Structure 1
Amino acid sequence: MKTWFFTIEMTLLVMVALRLISGLIELTVAGLILKFNSIEKAVALNAMLALIGPTIFIASVAIGLIGMSDRLSISKFVFIGAGVLLILIGIRK
C-alpha cells in the first residue's frame, strides 16, 4: 500500500487561514445584520467590514510575496506592489 504525503508550504497555510477567518467574519456579520434587523446597524457593520477586507487582502498578498521572495526579482516585486496599489486606489470611494 502506497502512502502519498503532500507537503503544503507554511506560507500557503497562513494565507488560507487568513481567508477562512475573513470568510467567517463576513458570515458572522451577515448573521448579525439579520439578527439586528436595522438598516443603521447594517450600515455600521458593513463599514467595519470595509476595514477588515482590505487589511486581510494586504496581509495575504504580503505573506505570499514573502513566501516567494527567493524566486522573484526586484522588478517583479515593484510590478506586483504597483498592481496592489492600483487595486486599492481603484476600490476607494
Structure 2
Amino acid sequence: MIYIKNKILLSMALLRVISGIIEFSAALLMLKFNSVEKALQLNSILALVGPTVLVLVTALGLVEIAEKISLLNFVVIASGVGLILLGIKL
C-alpha cells in the first residue's frame, strides 16, 4: 500500500487520474458511436478538460511550493502555463 502524507500531492495525482478516466471514457464513446461527427464533438469537449486540469494541477503545485521558490521563478512558471494556454487557443 502506498502511503502519501502530502494532501496536495494526492490531490494533484487524483486530478490526473480523473482526467485520464475522462479521456479514456471519451475514446470508448467515440468507438461506440462509430461516427466521425460524434468523435469530433467529444474531442471538442475534451479540449476544455485538458487545459482545466493543467491549470488546476499547476495551481495546487504552486500553492505547495510557493514559500520555497522565488517570486521570479513563480512568475516564470505562471507565464509558462499562460503561454501553453495561449498556444492552445491559436
Q: Normalising to structure 1: TM-score of the pair?
A: 0.88
Deviations 1:30-52 (A, max 9, x none): 00000011111110000000001
Match of 2:9, SS state, is helix
Q: Aligned match of 1:11 in 8, 11, 21?
A: 8
Structure 2 letter corresponding to 1:59: L
Q: Kindly tell me: are residues 43 and 83 of structure 1, through their superposed partners in 2, closer, same or farther at Cα, counting changes over 3 Å?
A: same
**Residue 30 of structure 2: aligned partner:** 33
CA distance in 2, matches of 1:7, 1:84: 26
**Cα RMSD, aligned residues only:** 1.5
Alpha-carbon distance in 1 for matches of 2:3, 2:65: 19
Matches of residues 45-60 of structure 1 in structure 2 within 5 Å?
45-60=42-57
Task: Give runs of ≥4 in structure 1 deviating > 6 Å.
Answer: none
1:62 aligns with 2:48: no
Residue aligned with 2:77, SS: helix
- The alignment-based identity, stated in percent, is 47
Paired position in structure 1 for 2:18: 21
1:91 corresponds in structure 2 to: 88
Amino acid at match of 1:60: V
The answer to whether the 8 A contact 2:23-2:46 is kept is yes
- In 2, Cα distance between equivalents of 1:50 and 1:7: 31
SS of equivalent residue, structure 2 residue 69: coil
